Structure formats: C-alpha cells, structure tokens
Structure 1
Amino acid sequence: MRIETRREREEEEEEEEEQPLSPAARLFHSPEFNCYIISVIGCKTKIDTDVITQGLKETLIRHPRFSSKLVIDGDKRQNQRWVRTKVNVEDHVVVPDMVASRRMTENPDEFLENYVSNLTSTPLDVSRPLWELHVLDIKTSDAENVAVLKVHHSIGDGMSLMSLVLACTRKTSNPMEIPSLPVKNRSKSRLTGLRSQSRFWWLVLALWSSVLLVFNTFCDAFEFVATTLFLKDTETPIKGKRGGLMEEKPRRFVHRTMSFDDIKLIKNTMNMTVNDVLLGITLAGLSRYLNRKYGDTEEKQEAKERNQDNLPKRIRLRAAVLVNLRPDAGIQALADMMSKGSKCKWGNWIGYVVIPFSIATRDDPLEHLRRAKDTIDRKKHSLEAFLTFSVGKFILETFGVKAAADIIGRAVSNTTMSFSNMMGPVEEISFYGHPITYLAPSAYGHPHALTMHFQSYMNKMTMSLTVDSTVITDPHRLCDDLEESLRTIKSAVQERGLVR
C-alpha cells in the first residue's frame, strides 16, 4: 500500500491553489471572444438576499473556479492562471436601488431587459472571481422577483455551468433532494434490430454506416476550411458584421415562454426528437421573420399586403451549434463537490457543428420539421464536433491565442447565428428556498448578431434571444414569429388527424 508523503500533499495543495488556464479559457479572454454566460432566473416569491448570500457561501464558492481570480503575468498575456482567493460573497451579490429606478413601475419587463442589456456592456472586475448575481426586487409579467447570474465563459462551458446552478437548487417537493433531469430514450438503431435477424446484413449496414461517417466528416472538414477562408453566409437582416470590441456592441436579451407539452405533442406525433421540433420551429419562425423584412423593402404597398414570397433565392444561412464533448458528470457529482470537497471533471470541452438552415416560405408547415430532421440526422453521422474541438486545440497550443482567435473568429463570423438547447428539470425546483418559475440562459461576446437558446423546465420551454440591437431592432417581433410558427405547426398536426 502506497503512503502519501507530506511533501506530496503540499505539492498537491499548491497545484489546487493555482491552475493554468486551459486553451479554451484563454481563447474566451481574447478581445475577439470575450464571452460571458448570462442566466435570468424568475422566482415565484420575493427574494431574500440574506438567504441567497448564505446559500452561495455554502455551495457555489466552494467550487474552485468560483473562488479563484484570474492572474496574468507579462505584457503578452502568455502566463494566465487561476489563483484561489478568499471570496467576500457580498461583493458578488448586487442589489440595485429600485426606488431610484422609477420607470420600472411603468414597465418592469422593459426595465429587466434594459438592466440585462447594461450588464452585457459592463465587464467583470478581474481582481475578483469572475461572476456576479444581481437580485432585482421587481415583479415582472412572469415572476415575482428576478435574479440574474453573470459568469465569464472561461470558468466553464454552458452545460457545466447550468448543471452547477441546478446543483445549487433543490426540489420544492423535497428540499433535501437535488433535481433530476429527464432520461433520454435511446431507441434501438437499425443495426441493433438487424443484428439478431441477419449477421450478413448487419455487417453490410455497419460498413455502410462507417463509410457514411467518414464521408460526412470529410465534407464537414472541407466546409469548415472553406468557411474559414471564403465561404460566407448571405447578408440578411439578422447577420452581424465582424469587427470592433464586444463591449461596443449593445446586446438585447429577451425571452419568451412556450408550452413544452405542445412541443412534445408534435415530437411524439411526428416520431421525432425535441431537437428536431425546435429546429423546425426555428426554420419556420426565421423564414416568417425574414420574409416580412424583405417585404418591408418593397416599394409597392400592395406587395406588402399580399402574403407573397419576398425571400431571395438560395439564401445561405447557417448556425454554429456548440456541442459538449465532456462526459456529463451529473448534478449529484457537482453537489458532492461543493458539499464534500470531492473532485469532479470541469472545463470548456466544446466543439461546434455548422447546421444549414433551410429558409423558405412553405405551403406545408410540416415541411420545416422534415427539413430539420433530415439536417440533424445528417449531422449525427459525422465527427464534426470532435474535429473542430481538436483543430481549435491544436491551433491554440501551436500558434497561440491571437492566431486561434483570428481563425476561429473568421469561421464563426462567416456563419449567421448561434443555436443551442438544454433539457431542464421536470418538476419544480427552488433556488435556496425560492421556487423558480423559469430559467432563461444565454451567452454573448462571440461575433454573432443573434444567439438563440431553448431551455426546458417542467411543462415550459423558455426561448432566449440575445441580439445585437444595431442589427436586429425588433427582437420581440422575432419571438412572435417563432411562437406563431409553433402554433401553426401544432394546428397542422391536429387538422390532419395525425394526433393519436
């Protein structure tokens, strides 16, 4: 049996006190990718700041990244590391003076949007751990009080951070139990079904699947190189332009809550996944929104009044979708890390895939769903996410952050938007004793004028849009179009008697 020496323990403790930034974390601190994750948490009751502060002391700051500050040595920012520090939680919990903000009584929803917009233009203090929680004592249309969590993306990827937030919550029905996420139903593949029937045909399909995987990955690799060099999306009313500091681009954060039951009804009826349905709704909503935008440029009023196709032909519109490549540690492991000091895998292990959006006006709204499913099925048979992660890591380690930021920045800015979806708890949870009514996370700082994120929670699906307000001046209209697309698709499913 090996006996750990005192010197080894001291060296291990020293390593835990200081950690170099990962390549991805260094990228997120570059001027081109100064990225943040922001999450609006709506509560059913008035928020007790003292209770929240005490809860953070007992959980969140026990996580190494939330109790470490960024230290940079040298003018070239090469030596960047996390250094553990003593955290004064009260410095990170911000409670603005609502009495001085008289306008919030007129329109609290607008006040919340303006407040979050101001947060996106204000950098965090690098002399402290890079996170803040803002507690707003306002009653909005869908919450009694609101908390806004702002975290620098270098601390972790979106999946890790959302899991950590959930690890700080408990089930309302049982305050001692952490929330549970829905289990993905993995249907048996065609290969599994045929293996028991015919070994020959199983081998044929397995070979074909491997060939398809290699071919699709090669095509995606070629597209990634082409996108980095010259392949740009069409200049549409929702596409931003690269250049300038992220802080100089005003961001607007809006969210809308839809029925998750309606989405699941469509999913079950059409034999699809939730991702298929959400992407189909997005295709329909963006098509509706862009068709109106292009119609508004028509000189003839009668052209506007007719519900005609105003979209240009062959619009190239693609979304960069982040994919978490780190094995999911689970909420329980994160909760144990904060309560017992156990270790847990953490970091930014993310690749991205480029998904083409088929933008068109269609007589059959269900065609948007079919196009979405075909696209996602095609991307499932590709190693594009692992490829982009590996290439990005290689460029960072070989050529440095500046070169990586320029190359990856070109690739991302030549696409149009970011898109993501995350599954949440199926029953009500409480944030340090405060029942939650909705969760609305998003991100900003990357060179996209539109970032769209879907977050499920109980029987709700919250859609969050973060937009460059100089490009997309009417984000609420875009939300309306996405909501209307869900209603139209649901009606089409019901009218055709497809619902069982």
Structure 2
Amino acid sequence: MDASSGRPSGAALKTTRLLPIRTPRSAVAEWTTTHYSAEEELLNPTARLMEAIYIVVTVGLGTPVNLPVFSAGIAAQLARYPHFHSIQVTDGSKEPRWVRTAVNVDNHIIVPTLDPVAVVANPDRALEDYVASLPALPMDCSRPLWEFHFLDFPTSEAAATAVIRVHHSLGDGMSLITMLLASARSAADPTRLPAMPKPPARTGAIYEPRRRQQSSGSALAAFVTWIWPYLVLAWNTIVDVALFAATIVFLRDPPTLFRRAGDHVMSNPHRRFVHRSLSLGDVKLIKNAMNCTINDVLVGATSAALSRYYFRNSGSSKTNKLCLRSVLPVNTRPTTSLQAGTSIFQRMFANTTILFSNMVGPTEQIELCGHPIVFIAPSVYGGPQALVVHYQSYISTIKVILAVDDDVIPDYTQLLDDFTESFGHIKDAASKLSTSIINRE
C-alpha cells in the first residue's frame, strides 16, 4: 500500500500472475468537501450508468519517453477539457455532480517500477502483465478520474508505451479517442491535426436505390411486388424489438466457452488485454471482393475466429443450439431518465456474451506531446462480458484488441491467433473470388 495516497501499489496485488510493481505518490488530494468550486454540473444518466466501467488505451511510442515534455503536453492539451479537471461528488446533500478543481498533472502521471529481470527476459509479457494489473488498482476519487502510465522500455512493437486509463463517465470510447486525436498532431506537419479517412462514398450495388420494374402482370401482382420489401422490413423490425425485449426480461445466452455459468454473471477483476496488427489493405480487399462494408468484414472475421476457437476446444460440431450474441453500443440521443436506462443497460450486458466495437483512426502517423505514435489499442473493463472485441484502424493497419476474462478464456493468445488465421483464410478466398471475377470479365 502506498502510504502517501492510500491506494494499493502493484506489489501489493495478491496474485502470482502479475509482475510486482510500485507506483509511488506524494501528492495530497486535489479536492475535499470543505472547499470546492462553485462551478458544478449534474452527472448525466450515462455517466451514472458507467460507474464500474473504465477505458484503457495502450499507445505505442516511437521514441523513449521524455517525461517533462509529455507532462507539459498533457497539461496544455488534455487537462483543459472540462471533465478532465472535474471530480464526481456524491456527498448526499445534492444530486451526484461534477465539481471543477485544480489539476496537478504530476498526480496523474505514473511511472511504475517493474522487475528488471522480468522486463529484460520478456518485455512484451511485462507490459501485458502491467496492463492486466490495472483493474485491481482502484483510482483515487478525490482527483479527476484519468491517469497516464509510462513504461519506458522497448517492446517488439514500440520504443516505449503509454497506457491511458480513464473512467467511462468522462466520455465514451469514440469521444475519448476523438479527444486524444484532437490533442495530437500530424508527424509530417506538427502544425496541423491528423488526417482522418474521408467518409465512405456508399457506392455499389448494395447502396443503389431499387428501381421500380414495370410488371407485365395484373395490378395486384404489381402491388404485391411494391409492398413486399416494406412488409419484410416491418416483420424484421417486430422480430428485433421482440428479441430486444426478451433479452431484457429473460433471454440469456447459454454458458459457452466464452461465458461464465450461473444465474449472476459478474465482472472478474482479472483481465488480460492483448492485441494484434492486421493489414487494412487486406480488409479493404475483402470488402471490395464481397461488395460489403468494412464493418461486415470485421463481424464476419470475428465470427470465424470464435468458431475456430469454440470447435477446437469443445470438440463439438453441432451448431443448431449454439447462441452467442454481441452488443454494439451506439449513442443515438440524450437520455433523460436514469431509471428508464439502468435496468436495460445492466440486463442487456449481463444476458449477452460479447461486447464489440470498431473505431476509425488517422490515415497518417501522428505525434502526441512530441512523441510519434506507433499504434493505438483501446479497450475497456468493468463489464460482465468475459470477452470484449475492439478494432482500431491507424495508418495502413487495423488492430484487433481483446479484453478477456482469463478464468473463462485462459488460452487467450490462441484466440488471438484464431483472429489472425481467420483473416488470412478469408483474404485468400477473397483474392480467388476477385481473380475469378476479373477472368470472367
């Protein structure tokens, strides 16, 4: 336990799976109930729903860490956002709210001391073990809920690594990644913001409006031809709404290799965060060959990877009763009632198996606080799902990032290999399909 901050250090973690770490702190709390700013903002319902959820972004750096430069950059960029210099106050006298506070950036920068022998022996594993230790280390609620952890040693992918931990109430994954990119600059021209992909053109057969064909039959046949797509849409909508309601009330995915058994699915504090780089060009090749979207490709490859893992480890070939559903969170409108959303949120996540997300990144290399970025790997922890799948594009690659409950999926590296192999097989099939189409033409 770190006596200065009252928070457990890595060395205090009672587990043999993690490296011993020490995170010394010497700063006092940044806010107390006896003095706080008059600037207050009520917590919105979404922030209150995300009480146990944290976002972890592992950022590979192309150079060793220059701590003074990084600290100054954080103070000038990220710390200026309102929630990054606010804390959550729930003192019972008022509604839970944000209260503005002064920020000492040094209190939010952590440079852990790891076992040097373990770091030299396997730096990639040392990094993985450290990130896996974060869910067991509570954040200090008397300070704004964000941290930068710097691991200044080379790994197989980067010269150094920054691990950013942020409470989900500060924003969702998309808004936080956008804010991170807004604080970064183009490596080619530090005076401008990073270049992002252009919106998709939405061209191709799947996007072309249907043309009303002249019917040579009766007026009734023409009417049925016209109305049939609308009837199908209405039926699918009814089915989707019914399944959504059933999921909230009683419909639960059965126990599989990806899900804990039991009536109450609880979050395991032990989480492993692993990632692998894939070629964005290969993903686009598959998209063009299949005449679909990139998201379709990622969902299909994810299904293929999970199938490979399941059938290899279960020894089963029966799929007629296998149910495995994923949640893709989307924020479409502001929520006005917490009681309308809390139970829905909890039941939906507890009754499904996987959390899935896909985010778009810059098309060029960027710098953050003067440090070139090699890769970006966002993820989350705190939810009940044993498997969270994130995709993050950056330059010419796309990262697949897995956050796994290693009690449920102990061989998570093999699962990550299944993703790589599945993409490879789909790419080979798409290449043959493209060649066949070209030959026919």
Indicate the TM-score class for this superposition, using the shorter chain for normalisation: 0.7 to 0.9
Moved more, 405-414 or 85-94: 405-414
196 and 292 in structure 1: CA distance in 2 versus 1, 3 angstrom threshold? closer
Correspondence 1:22-37 to 2 at 5 A: 22-29=44-51, 34-37=52-55
Which residue of the partner structure matches residue 292 of structure 1? 312
Q: In 2, distance between residues paired with 1:211 and 1:233?
A: 29
Change (3 A) 1:244 1:222: closer
| Residues 18/483 of structure 1: CA separation in 2 closer, same or farther (3 Å cut) | same
Q: In the superposition, relative to structure 1, how do residues 190 and 284 fare at CA in structure 2: closer, same or farther (>3 Å)?
A: closer
**Correspondence for 2:106 among 90, 99, 113:** 90
Structure-2 separation of matches of 1:155 and 1:483: 33
Aligned sequence identity (%): 42
Q: Structure 2: how far apart are the matches of 1:190 and 1:448?
A: 33
1:195-206 counterparts in 2 under 5 A? none
Q: Determine whether 1:54 maps to 2:76.
A: no
Q: 1:180 aligns with which of 181, 185, 195?
A: 195
- Determine helix, strand or coil for the equivalent of 1:181: coil
CA contact (8 A) 1:159 1:324 kept: no
Matched, 1:79 2:95: yes
Q: Secondary structure at the match of 2:385?
A: coil
Task: Kindly provide the amino acid, as one letter, of the partner of residue 146 in structure 2.
Answer: W
Question: 1:46 is matched by which residue type in structure 2?
Answer: P
Deviations 1:123-168 (A, max 9, x none): 2111000100111112111111000010000111111001001111
Asked if 1:18 is matched to 2:40, the reply is yes
Q: RCO higher in 1 or 2 (8 Å CA, sep ≥ 6)?
A: 1
* Alpha-carbon spacing, 1:285–1:160, altered in 2? closer, same or farther (3 Å): same
- Contact 2:184-2:366 at 8 Å conserved across structures: yes
Counterpart of 2:248, as a letter, is T
CA drift of 1:311 comes to 4.2
Q: CA deviation at 1:244?
A: 7.6
Contact 1:40 / 1:146 at 8 angstroms: preserved in 2?
yes
Question: Is the contact between residue 258 and residue 462 of structure 1 (CA under 8 Å) also seen in structure 2?
Answer: yes
Q: 1:16-52: CA deviations, max 9, x gaps?
A: 92110001111112xxxx0011100001111211111
For 2:124, what is the secondary structure of its paired residue?
A: helix
Work out whether 1:165 is the aligned partner of 2:180: yes
Task: Please state whether the residue corresponding to 2:90 is helix, strand or coil.
Answer: strand
Give, in whole Å, the separation in 1 of the partners of 2:345 and 2:169.
16
What's the CA shift for 1:450? 0.2
* Alignment CA distance shift 1:189-1:405 (3 Å): same
CA contact (8 A) 2:265 2:384 kept: no
Change (3 A) 1:244 1:176: same
Q: Using a 3 Å threshold, how does the CA distance of structure 1 residues 204 and 421 change in structure 2: closer, same or farther?
A: farther
Contact 2:272 2:405 in 1 (8 A): yes
SS at match of 2:192: coil
Compute the TM-score of the two structures, normalised by the length of structure 1. 0.73
Give me the whole-angstrom Cα distance separating, in 2, the residues matched to 1:68 and 1:322. 25
The C-alpha deviation readout for 1:302-352, integer Å capped at 9, x for no partner, is xxxxxxx634532011001112426xxxxxxxxxxxxxxxxxxxxxx5xxx
Query: What SS is found at the alignment partner of 2:416?
Result: helix
Letter in 2 for 1:229: V
- Higher helix proportion, which one? 1
Structure-2 residue corresponding to 1:415: 352
Query: What is the CA–CA distance in structure 1 between the aligned matches of 2:383 and 2:291, rounded to whole Å?
Result: 35
The separation in 2 between residues aligned to 1:204 and 1:181, in whole angstroms, is 45
Select the residue among 453, 465, 484 that pairs with 2:390. Answer: 453
Q: Does 1:318 align with 2:330?
A: no
- In the alignment, what sits opposite 2:18? none
> Which residue of structure 1 aligns with residue 411 of structure 2?
474
1:139 corresponding residue in structure 2: 154
Q: For 1:264-314, what per-residue CA distance to the aligned partner results, in whole angstroms no more than 9, with x for missing partners? A: 11111211111011111111111000001112xxxxxxxxxxxxx634532
Q: Does 1:109 align with 2:124?
A: yes
Say if 2:71 is the partner of 1:64: no
Go from structure 1 to structure 2 and tell me whether the alpha carbon gap of 1:28 and 1:487 turns closer, same or farther (over 3 Å shift).
Answer: same
Q: Which one-letter code corresponds to 1:73 in the other structure?
A: D
**SS of alignment partner, residue 178 of structure 1:** coil
Distance 1:253 1:499 in 2: 40
Aligned-pair CA distance for 1:414 = 1.3
Query: Is the CA contact 2:275–2:377 (under 8 Å) kept in the aligned structure 1?
Result: yes
Q: Structure 1 233/101 Cα, relative in aligned 2: closer, same or farther at 3 Å? A: same
Larger mean CA deviation between 443-452 and 486-495 belongs to 486-495
**Counterpart residue number, 1:152:** 167
The letter of the residue matching 1:131 is W
Residue 356 of structure 1 corresponds to none
Distance 1:67 1:498, change over 3 A: farther
Q: Which residue of 1 aligns with 2:278?
A: 258
Aligned to 1:462: 399
SS of equivalent to 2:312: helix
Partner secondary structure for residue 196 of structure 2? coil
In the alignment, the residues of structure 2 paired with residue 85 and residue 205 of structure 1 have an alpha-carbon distance, to the nearest angstrom, of 63
The alpha-carbon deviation at position 446 of structure 1 amounts to: 1.1
Question: Where in structure 2 are there 5+ consecutive unaligned residues?
Answer: 1-35
- Alpha carbons of structure 1 residues 158 and 212: separation in structure 2 relative to 1, 3 Å: farther
Contact 1:294 1:311 in 2 (8 A): no
Which residue does the alignment assign to 1:129? 144
In structure 2, C-alpha distance between the alignment counterparts of 1:192 and 1:260, rounded to whole Å: 25
- Does structure 1 retain, via aligned residues, the 8 Å contact 2:271–2:404? yes
CA distance in 1, matches of 2:393, 2:224: 39
Deviations for 1:159-203, whole angstroms, at most 9, x for unmatched residues? 1001001111111111011012212222378797457999x9xx9
Q: For residues 131 and 244 of structure 1, what CA distance do their matches in structure 2 show?
A: 27
Q: Give the superposed CA RMSD.
A: 2.9
Kindly indicate whether the alpha-carbon contact (under 8 Å) linking 1:131 and 1:151 is maintained by their aligned counterparts in 2: yes
Look up the SS of the partner of 1:322 in the other structure. Answer: coil
Change (3 A) 1:142 1:205: farther
Q: 1:158 to 1:239 in 2, by over 3 A?
A: same
Contact 2:206 2:291 in 1 (8 A): no
Unaligned runs of 5+ in 1: 1-13, 296-308, 327-348, 350-389, 399-403
